[in-house]
Chain A
């Protein structure tokens, strides 16, 4: 049985390669139950590959391979396990049940040829031995929780009949339907407009409080980090360059790249009394 003092997820020295290219290099971090961990970094820094590796989707979806390291999952009332070593049939039971994921692009993340109901019911029934009617009831309940208006009608619609924000809500409903221990949100608001972004972040936060799930929020937006994160992991060029509590990272960043990231956040009035925009302080490649 798991020890409640242990972190819920512990990633140790994880390395992921695509052929000879190292996409994730010796990455280590921890995630505690109920907390929100933000993984930040520029495009190509290895954030998404790290997230996909946690569910071992990197092997199936992008032909990458985990060459070394551990992904220790320590779910309450269950035996701890190393996801990096788990066979595919056991991993399938963890995906969607203990760890769920929502993706950046809600427009393409749902299958266009199946109705919302069919996709939600399938997600539930692939892990729970319940009738279709009960699964529809659960799906409807989740649609209400993610605040989709007129959920009975929306449930019968196809993805192309819903707006981007609504589709991301459906993705969240699908991901949280089985009360997973960990929700991985891979830039869930990047493809949405600003007002919808705030709604989706608020919704994830509310549902997290209701369910007690831990969240790994992958983003390049420090504004999002400040809004939702408890702790932050900063990645650059496949490596973790800094990590710590959110206050520490914002108040006293140590690494030049973290400083540059924070400096990149636009501030209201920062252009006052200046004729032209100032050159952005770039970080050296080998920093």
Chain B
């Protein structure tokens, strides 16, 4: 085997070890999430059977007893918890009180729209934030840099729902350029390209609303780290080699400046998912956030529990991807397991 392929083999083995270790940790984290959420919901005052029948105008004692038996609500707490953990690891989160359908089916139906919204918003925030940050750091004294600073301040000061409503008013209501709600128009055909284009048009406003908030933060972080990196010795070396300024900035400086942005984006996945709930509500986007919001109003605990567990899985997977991206960017991390 050649030296370079054995080197590549070692790197792949290291990455494999990292993934295996993180997945091992993930099982314990998911177990902790299940135990905590199950316990908190059961510690909350009120009888689940009464809550379940409340929206239908209440029920007799006999009907309540039947419901308790159907959902094993009279079993001891530890027995209920044990059964729930076993079912959850089989991806069975029970049936929704309201929809009378398996929670896993309901959540999976809404998972794709949420992933589409959150990943688009995050991509816009990272790419847009870094470009603005780099631009601003290269010309820190220029008026355009100060304008960007003010815009960034505005971006993370404005509440997400307000930004969403303002964008709706401007681009949907007044200008009529973009649709105001949902993920697809009722009249759209089944053709792949027609449907995809329709989804993109529906996605622009909610993704911009969610992304703008984080773009503002990432532009500030990129600006600060870029200013530091541009003064570093290795950037001076790159210039002394006679490299074009474009290469110095976008290759030598950026790869170092982007490391903190990736780290912070990884930490913020959970916050972005939470922000998604507000955006999905404002834009009537058929994602997990809206399902969670409606389940909360209806006290549909099986859905809430399932959502929490799946959100935890999304956050764990996103953090794993962040960790791998981090290792890809920075070789000093790559060789640590």
Contact = CB atoms under 8 A, between A and B. Distances in A.
**Chain B interface size, under 10 / 10 to 19 / 20 to 34 / 35 or more:** 20 to 34
Contacts of B235: 61
B244 interface: yes
A113 interface: yes
Given A103-B236, A153-B3, A113 B242 contact: no
Contacts of B245: 60, 88
B332 interface: yes
Contacts of B299: none
B241 A113 contact: no
Nearest to A184: B240
Nearest to A127: B242
B4 A122 contact: no
A5 B149 CA distance: 55
**Candidate in A57, A94, A113 with the most chain B CB atoms within 10 angstroms:** A113
B207 to A, nearest CB: 30
A126 B331 CA distance: 24
A112 interface: yes
Interface residues of B, dominant DSSP: helix
A110 B237 contact: yes
A27 B69 CA distance: 95
Nearest to B229: A111
B228 to A, nearest CB: 12
B236 A122 contact: no
B236 A57 contact: yes
B231 interface: yes
B238 A111 contact: yes
B236 A61 contact: yes
Given A109-B234, A111-B252, A112-B234, A160 B241 contact: no
Given A111-B252, A113-B331, A158-B331, A96 B233 contact: no
B109 interface: no
B329 interface: yes
Interface string B289-318: 000000000000000000000000000000
B200 to A, nearest CB: 34
B110 interface: no
A255 interface: no
A105 interface: yes
A112 B256 contact: yes
Nearest to A152: B3
A156 interface: yes
A222 B90 CA distance: 76
B23 interface: no
21 contacts: A62-B231, A88-B245, A93-B242, A94-B242, A95-B240, A100-B240, A101-B240, A103-B236, A108-B234, A109-B233, A109-B236, A111-B237, A112-B330, A115-B331, A122-B243, A156-B3, A156-B7, A158-B331, A160-B331, A171-B237, A174-B237
Interface of A: 52, 55, 57, 60-62, 88, 92-97, 100-101, 103, 105, 108-115, 122-123, 126-127, 152-153, 156, 158, 160, 171, 174
